[in-house]
Homo-oligomer: A and B are copies of this chain.
């Protein structure tokens, strides 16, 4: 059986906050647990907030903005390595980390003020690793850590949460070579376990209820890797 427990009662997170300590005081953690943390609080604790008053939009940003704030589009362009699709003011971009998502992960909701936006962490795997180390320091327990974000999908409505950073977690479960119940060898069956863990956690996160983290117990996903392993390499990608 799997249990998913919300981490409740966290305060509004500000730059410099010790997020691991705030979580450790509100969650019972065990080894092999997976802690899923919404990137927004990770980004805020890391000071990845941009005040739009400091942004001068380029011509490209103005063109992409439509009726939206061109300064927001300018931040999106700066966070993008490549634009994948645009329909002003909607931008699907590849981030510098290689993730393909709306607005290059730049987020206007839940920001500290209406004139600010929140960026993705500079290096979300490193953010996850730091959280894990600090939790170990504080509690003696080192759970797997996933930093999650809500991504839209090609062809499908609505967002699901995915892993954009991780530590102590095996991102993919490769079943190739194993045999299923009927004796058929499973070819090329790779399950994106870290994304499923992020999606499962979202069911308790509640974007409006200020629950930015959850503990998942009962899935042994212990292992190593990077959230970038969840990105299809350019040469194999049919949808670049």
Whether the pair B219, A203 counts as a contact (CB closer than 8 A) is yes
Q: List which A184-239 residues lie within 8 A (CB) of chain B.
A: 184, 186-187, 189-193, 195-197, 199-200, 202-204, 207-210, 218-219, 229-232, 237-239
Q: List which A158-201 residues lie within 8 A (CB) of chain B.
A: 158-162, 171-173, 175, 178-184, 186-187, 189-193, 195-197, 199-200
Contact of A85 among B162, B197, B238 (CB under 8 A): B238
Spot the interface stretch: A18-26, A135-143, A147-155: A147-155
Q: Give how many A residues have a beta carbon under 8 Å from the other chain's beta carbons.
A: 71
Spot the interface stretch: A73-81, A110-118, A120-128: A110-118
Contact of A208 among B108, B111, B181, B190 (CB under 8 A): B181
Counting every copy of the chain, the complex holds 2
CA of A108 to CA of B188, assembled, Å:
12
Chain B residue contacts of A150, Cβ below 8 A? 189, 191
Whether the pair A192, B158 counts as a contact (CB closer than 8 A) is yes
